[in-house]
Chain A
Amino acid sequence: MLRQRVSAVAAEASLERGLRRRWRLGEKFIEGWIFLAGLLAIVVLLGIVGLLIKEGLPIFSHTPPWEFLFGTKWYPVSDPPTFGIMSFFVATIMVTIVATAIAVPVGVGCAAYLAEVAPLRIRETVKPIIELLAGIPSVVMGFIGLLLLSPLIQSVFNLNTGLCGLTAGIMLSLMSLPIIVSVSEDALSAIPDEFRQAAYALGATKWEVVRHVSIPAALSGIAAAIMLGVGRAIGETMTVLMVAGGALAVPISPTEPMMPMTAAIASGIGNAVRGGLQYQALFAIGLLLFIMTLAVNLIADRVMERQKRKFAR
């Protein structure tokens, strides 16, 4: 009896060992797979950075970095060519500011409504619909800007042309809105309910709770959402190419036609012979753009990390 039990235990143990070995093999395989996938992403990223540096940096032997960044004349097909990207840089900043100024209040307001005020059923129908907005192709947004918004902007602001930074900025705000709403709403929903209940217990109204408890508590998450939206606006190309107007002057106001960096790259790259000066200059713009979006994304990442740690207790 006892012997039998002992042998049964032994058999069980050996079965378990076998299982564990097979487990380990499977696990090793999956581990390796994930490792390779992770490695691939890093290799691709480094490859892109390497390419941008290799193709972009040689331009600085023709135009010194200082002149390249602060020059206001961009005549790539003239003889001799001049490359100054100040106007593109200012245009990108200006369009992004317009987009952010519109998308942030609307987006955060919408997120606060969805997370704090709206009944569950509304939240669960409206949020996916807003996220669907992110799926509209940018060329379609360009069309809408071209056909509907630009004539409107032209008549409302009494401008010479509706193709300007303001039109582009408004279209971009529509494109970064879904990101801002979605990520801020997640941040607001993640706040422990005790916070709100404590505030209500002290006699706070709904508005006071949203204004003084929920939004401050989720602030780092909202900041991350804003940063992601900004990153989207900086990198967007097709829409700004179609509606920003494409003038080479350094813009002074958003109602002027302008050419952001992405549009400058897109409208010039087809014409540039591989390895030529214009090609290098466009890659250098790409490099600067990459640094800008990388910085914005890094900030977003850091802020988001802080948000996570705050409620990890």
Chain B
Amino acid sequence: MLPLTALFIAAIVLTGCGGTPEDEGGLSGSFRIIGSNTVEPLSVVWVEEFMKMHPNVRIAVSGPGSGVGIAALIDGTTEVAQASREMKSKEVDQAKTKGVNPYEIQVATDALAVVVHPSNPVSELAIAQLSAIFTNHITNWKEVGGNDAPIVVISRDTNSGTHVFFKEHVVQMKGLPTEDKSLEYGSGVLFLPSTKEGVDEVARNPNAIFYPGLAYVTDEVQPLAIKKTADDLGVQPSVETALAGSYPIARPLLYYTDGEPTGVIKAFIDYCLSANGQAKVTDVGYVPLE
């Protein structure tokens, strides 16, 4: 549903922006941004603003998932791929054999919140506990200090960069002494096609747990404080804690282009990285670059 909404917004913006006076230099052209469901809300805001400044530029945004965007860049069906994880070396190799040179630009940072139902008494979890929950080794909330109720574990599907990032950094505990690359999501985990659907299910289900990007957290769900190890203090996800580096599950949000961007794409990315563009990042709920 989300990618569709984004296209819709882009279409409305397309029709709704008749020649604003700030149009300098008559920049024109069109390109596509396809990929991460997480980066999408940010891209949509930037695209909206950019097209207001340059009425002759057409940009279409859709967010089916990072993997989709990267596959599209490799297959040459998009000019810009938005991603919430880095390209794997295997994907870079695939791109090279097809004559595409992926060029990476970090446009913002995201903190991944772990959310539960507001009625859930659990308020903080360590990464190792999260790993055990998402591998189905812990299946009851009472094992982590909650009610005697089964845990309904929700994840994004394999299209999602968030799926891969969370697997590497939380399920497999990357960077911790307990890191184990053989760990996978448990077979009882529900894989949902969009982040919004996951948040909605947590809002309805008192026993559910899910990991949306910070921008998707609503008042109907409760974000948990995350402890890097059992001895650390729990840290709530927020723009401040992610900027300070104290929140453990933060990740870069990226744009990939084929080679260094030129022309209208360069102008757009320069805008995203400018002070004005970065000011929008906080509005959407992500963490701007320093």
Contacts and interface: CB of A to CB of B under 8 A. Distances in A.
Most buried by B among A75, A154, A248, A249: A248
A123 to B, nearest CB: 39
B204 A270 contact: no
Interface of A: 72, 75-79, 87, 146, 151, 154, 160-161, 163, 241-242, 245-250, 257, 259, 266-268, 270-274, 276
Contacts of A151: 204
Contacts of A75: 184
Contact of B159 (A154, A250, A268, A274): A268
Nearest to B149: A160
Q: For chain B, what secondary structure do more than half of its interface residues adopt (helix, strand, loop), or is it mixed?
A: mixed
Given A248-B189, A273-B94, A161 B74 contact: no
B187 A249 contact: yes
Contacts of A274: 71, 75
B187 A267 contact: no
B152 interface: yes
Contacts of B201: 161, 163
Given A77-B164, A247-B187, 14 more contacts: A77-B67, A78-B184, A146-B197, A154-B205, A161-B208, A242-B193, A246-B191, A248-B185, A268-B159, A271-B159, A272-B71, A273-B75, A273-B91, A273-B94
A268 B65 CA distance: 10
B64 interface: yes
B68 A270 contact: yes
A266 B192 CA distance: 12
Interface of B: 64-65, 67-68, 71, 74-75, 90-91, 94, 150, 152, 157-159, 163-164, 184-185, 187-193, 197, 200-201, 204-205, 207-208
A241 B194 CA distance: 11
Contacts of B91: 273
A163 B159 contact: no
B143 to A, nearest CB: 15
Contacts of A241: 193
5 contacts: A242-B197, A246-B157, A247-B187, A247-B188, A274-B71
B187 A248 contact: yes
Contacts, number: 81
Contact of B158 (A79, A247, A271, A276): A271
Contacts of B184: 75, 78
A161 B94 contact: no
A160 B202 CA distance: 11
A271 B188 contact: no
Nearest to A164: B190
A23 B185 CA distance: 70
Q: Identify the interface centre among B163, B197, B205: most chain A CB within 10 Å of its CB.
A: B205
B207 A270 contact: no
Given A161-B201, A246-B192, A270 B164 contact: no
The 6 closest A-B pairs by CB, nearest first: A271-B67, A249-B187, A270-B68, A246-B191, A271-B159, A267-B157
B197 to A, nearest CB: 8
A247 B67 contact: no
B3 to A, nearest CB: 10
A93 to B, nearest CB: 18
A179 B184 CA distance: 42
B187 A270 contact: no
A248 to B, nearest CB: 5
Given A245-B190, A270-B65, A160 B207 contact: yes
Nearest to B66: A271
